[in-house]
């Protein structure tokens, strides 16, 4: 379910959108238009649809905050990611399906 213009219009005027999930969940053109018109007060993004290329429209706005994707940049998270990988490999070795299989 992508955040296109129709969905963004469902947000109350003056809302702040934060996306730390996936860049392609929000339509860049629709978000830029909502920010430029001040329909949305601001946006905070640390993920982008075409990473590492950021839509140039964001750079013209003073109400968007862009950061590199740092959501997993903690020692604890990186350790947990490593443990999850090892657990998945061990599950495969036992002929089982890893718990985090996507399809």
21 vs 43: CA distance, rounded Å: 13
**pLDDT tens, position by position, 63-77:** 999 987 776 778 888
Residue positions annotated with a catalytic role: 22, 51, 69
User: For the structural domain made of 5-70, what CATH number should be given?
Assistant: 3.40.50.720
Across 59-63, 74-78, 89-93, least confident range: 74-78
Interior CA angle at 7 toward 4 and 22, to 5°?
Answer: 55
Whole-prediction pTM: 0.69
Confidence of residue 99 (pLDDT cuts 50, 70, 90): confident
pLDDT surpassing 60 at residue 37: yes
Neighbours of 86 (CB within 10 A): 10
* Domains in the chain: boundaries: 5-70, 72-103
Tell me if 35 sits within 8 A of 43, measured CB to CB.
Answer: yes
- Tokens of residue 92, six digits: 């495969």
pLDDT of residue 21: 83
């Amino acid at each position: 379910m992508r955040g296109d213009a129709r969905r963004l219009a469902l947000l109350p005027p003056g809302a702040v959108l934060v996306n730390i999930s996936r860049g392609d969940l929000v339509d860049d053109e629709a978000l830029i238009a909502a920010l430029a018109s001040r329909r949305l007060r601001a946006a905070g993004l640390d993920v982008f649809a075409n990473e590492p290329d950021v839509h140039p429209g964001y750079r013209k706005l003073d109400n968007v905050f862009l950061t590199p994707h740092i959501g997993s940049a903690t020692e604890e998270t990186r350790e947990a990611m490593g443990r999850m990988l090892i657990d998945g490999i061990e599950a495969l070795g036992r002929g089982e399906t890893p718990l985090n299989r996507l399809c």
